[in-house]
Structure 1
Amino acid sequence: MQAMLAEDLLNEMIPPLKGTDSLGKAARWLDEFRVGQLPVLAERQYRGLVTEADLADAYDPDALLSELTLGFREAVVRPDQHFFRVVELAVENKLQLVPVVDDDDAYVGVVTVADALAAFGPQASAPGQGGIIVLSMAERDYSLSQISRYVEENNAKIVNAHTVPDELDPYRIRLTLKLNTDNLARIVATLERFGYAVTAQFSGPGEVSEDEQERYDGLLRYLSV
């Protein structure tokens, strides 16, 4: 199955702001597009995200965005990065969307978390419709049949799977699994017991750890579900 990349998931409905735009315009656009952040550009260069918190802390509707200190300058992906990196960055930074920039930091567009999760299947982002686990491993250790056995020992099945090279280590791969269960705690524990590194997991309500439930609830808040 072909890997889904950031450039395949660009959301054309969410526009960027400019440094010459006012805070009042930024507030209106956040409300209009129902997002908690929007990218800000200077010319075509990405400068950061303006957030609802930024506007609450320094709200003068006539002030310009160029006067704000913007955050999330490094929370970006390249067009050729895999969609799971979008989800990881969004969850790590509590974002609803992740900017996409080229090698010169020129703005390409944004990918929303909802779009990224939906790329893994039409039910990927809905609670009660299964979970997602992302694993990192040495390429020589990859065996989908073995991993499937560990999953099935916990009364679950793999519905879909993607493998991509690890961007930081040419000898490792990333494996993203879509499962038919929301209850990931025991599956994750089993995989970790056999030496697999779980780098991300997303699930719905069920028999999950307090930490996993908190992360999932947070993800739903970011998605405004």
Structure 2
Amino acid sequence: MLSETPRTRHRRIKENGRTDPADLHAVLAAGQVAHLGVVVDGHPMVVPTVYGHDHERIFLHGSVASRSLAGRGEVCVTVTVFDGLVLARSVFEHGVNYRSAMIYGVPRAVTDPGDLLYGLRLLTEHAAPGQWDYARRPSKKELAATRLLALPLAEASVKISDGFPDDGDGPDAALGLWAGRLPAVAAWGTPEPDPRLAAGIEPPPHIAGRAGAALHPRRPPPG
């Protein structure tokens, strides 16, 4: 069970709340972009960033020059997957279906060389499984210019909405208007080669095979 804290307690629409850690990992597995909420120089800042994760931590990637990744104080990391619209008979009852996770805590900068490569591998494999073993690994100079934060998954809140409109049993049902949900289906497109790519170099199978695959799949958490 995910631990409940004043920040993670489900207060509104409690039926959408999830406490199974497997649901947290499933949301992280399905998402592609995290939003990092921090306070910089006394002002709030929310920064989109790529990420990777295992069962204990989420890793956030950026440049050493990034103020948002300075690793000072508490942060909130949010991952949201948009699954579609809920279209009701009245505008008031409209909504969206989604999978979301909010993670709170104090991140630490990853400085150990082994842990840094481990986190970067998770980040790379989350975005493009198979790419870590295909592409060139980071050089010492590149690693020195990279900042990687690790945030424990110990304090997290998960919500999932996957329903239909709530006004089917109310007075608005007599209006004779269509109601239901409109799924959002995102998929990877066909790989497009770099214009400067030498002739005869085809995309590797782990990239070519993703064409047409779901962008936000419902898949099991990482092993």
After TM superposition, the score normalised by the length of structure 1 is: 0.20
Bigger strand fraction: 2
Q: Which has the higher contact order (CA 8 A, sep 6+)?
A: 2
Q: Which has the larger radius of gyration?
A: 2
Structure showing the higher helix proportion among its residues: 1
